[in-house]
Structure 1
Amino acid sequence: MIHNIEHTTLFNGNVTVYQPEQGYRFALDSVVLAAFTPAKDHQTVLELGIGVGAASLALAFQHPNITIHGIEIQTDIIPITQKNIDANGWTNRFKVFSGNLTTRLVDGHYYDHVMMNPPFFEGHTYTDSPYAHKTLSHGESDGLLKDWIHEAHRALKSRGYITIVHTARRLDEILSLLTEKFGGIEVFPLWPKLGTPAKRVLVRARKSVNSPMKLHAGLVLHQEDGTFTPESAQIIHQGQKINAI
């Protein structure tokens, strides 16, 4: 049980988020993941590894009529996730399940979208955190990246979207795994500053389509003084979607 919880908000106070004071804490990745997920009204979304729910909460704010399911292996995190859902008044739009990647949430249920922020580090390539839930979130232990993508494919409807935020250094692996079962792959780099290598990438693809891959110009996150660029500030502070054409 996690006892020390802090309160914060997204989108200028419009979305309430509770999270542990120490250990795993949501970051900008959650917001850009939601911004790049192309949900539409009345669609269904599954988030694998929902954590405290920040990405799903951001998506729910952007799309008031979608239904979201989440799966989380860390049972002590789920009460915080549910607290966030209740605090925002979205209990009728969310369901959170405890389980690992092979858990079938609803037998025979398929989703329009699956989004995910999988652990960035391969097994045995990272230093354990003093906080077990942070270690589990950062490093592959319960499932490899290929397992996350396999489960997303299984859960999606035909022509449904998978949307991923991940470290840029594993982009080649992500593309290799996606091309086995997905098409219409889109890559959207996130540049820390103008002229610097991307550290994060957003990737989305569609099940059962054969469209060619598209490489977007991406988004520069920070200006030289460290503040957000006007474009990224609208996404991070206002909840604007990423308009990738």
Structure 2
Amino acid sequence: MSALPPLSSGTLMAGKILYDQFISGNRTGLEPVLMAACVPARPGQRVAEIGCGAGAGLLCLSQRITGLNLWGIEADSPSAALAQHNLDANGRTGVTLLNVYFPQSLPPDLPYGRFDHCFANPPWHPTLGTASPHTRRDLARRAQPDTLEAWVKGCTRLLRYKGSLTLILPATLLAEACGALTHHNFGDITLCPLWPKTGREARLIIVQARYCVRSPARILPGLILHEADGSFTPQSRLILKEGHALTLTATQPTRTPRPYQPQATQR
């Protein structure tokens, strides 16, 4: 830990998870917590987070679902080391971290097999925007012209047949994300808007899709994050503080069977 920059100590999920961060540079927001709440994993499955940063998403997912085979992929070496520190502090053993650029530095023959689920919060700040004075923050947030396309394509190398990919993105990238997913053979695209408050525009959206599936796209009612006074809504509090799932599975309406009516006989 002596090689890492100065840290600040904190927690996630109302103190359930110990979580250290770098004092300067990129700071963790609500995105990894919400994203991890959507991953439809089951105990024993293999899950990879692309761009895991300091490990918030991995920690929140493993808090909700035990017995997962978790992998984190992170390009920044100090961030990967901090993720390992946070995992160790919370007793999360058996999590594998890869300190590589995704997808360029993935080995051509993956020795660890296919994953049931991937999730990611890709960099999305414009390439030509003002650079952050913190190199680590800039790496985590600044997109290249092909970042989203490359990350979606890279996940096809990781996912098994019908495996899921969960992304959290600004609403401005929705068209680009749906185009990339469709182009790379993802279907069952499910959109979950995140409303800041009732009546406000959704600035963030969760996009979930499955590889090699042709089911049609769906838009869910979404999640309202805050009350008018800025406090969390009851539903968002259950997710962000208590670790409940944000389920994106379609709920089929209950249909009342019609009484049998014999058809008239044609003569």
- Smaller-chain TM-score bracket: over 0.9
Displacement of 1:129:
1.3
Say whether residues 1:151 and 2:117 are aligned partners.
Answer: no
Whole-Å separation in 1 of the counterparts to 2:133 and 2:105: 28
Whole-Å separation in 2 of the counterparts to 1:214 and 1:142: 27
Whole-Å separation in 2 of the counterparts to 1:36 and 1:77: 23
Name the TM-score, length of structure 2 as normaliser: 0.88
Say whether residues 1:114 and 2:115 are aligned partners.
Answer: no
Alignment match, 1:172: 175
Say whether residues 1:100 and 2:101 are aligned partners.
Answer: yes
- Of 226, 232, 240 in structure 1, the residue corresponding to residue 244 of structure 2 is 240
Say whether residues 1:188 and 2:192 are aligned partners.
Answer: yes
The structure whose RCO (Cα within 8 Å, separation 6+) is larger is: 1
Alignment match, 1:31: 33
> What's the C-alpha RMSD, in Å, of the aligned pairs?
1.4
Is residue 127–residue 145 contact of structure 2 (8 Å, CA) maintained in 1?
A: no
Deviates more, 1:202-211 or 1:9-18: 9-18
Give the structure with higher Rg (CA): 2
Alignment match, 1:73: 75
Percent identical:
33
Displacement of 1:122:
3.1
3-state SS of paired residue (2:125): coil
Q: How many residues matched?
A: 243
3-state SS of paired residue (1:22): coil
* Structure 1, gaps ≥5 residues long: none
The superposition leaves residues 148-177 of structure 1 with CA deviations (integer Å, 9 ceiling, x where unpaired) of 101111110000000000101110110111
Is residue 161–residue 205 contact of structure 1 (8 Å, CA) maintained in 2?
A: yes
3-state SS of paired residue (2:26): coil
Whole-Å separation in 1 of the counterparts to 2:242 and 2:76: 30
Structure 2 letter corresponding to 1:38: P
* Structure 2, gaps ≥5 residues long: 251-267
Displacement of 1:24:
0.5
Whole-Å separation in 2 of the counterparts to 1:143 and 1:19: 29
Structure 1 letter corresponding to 2:98: F
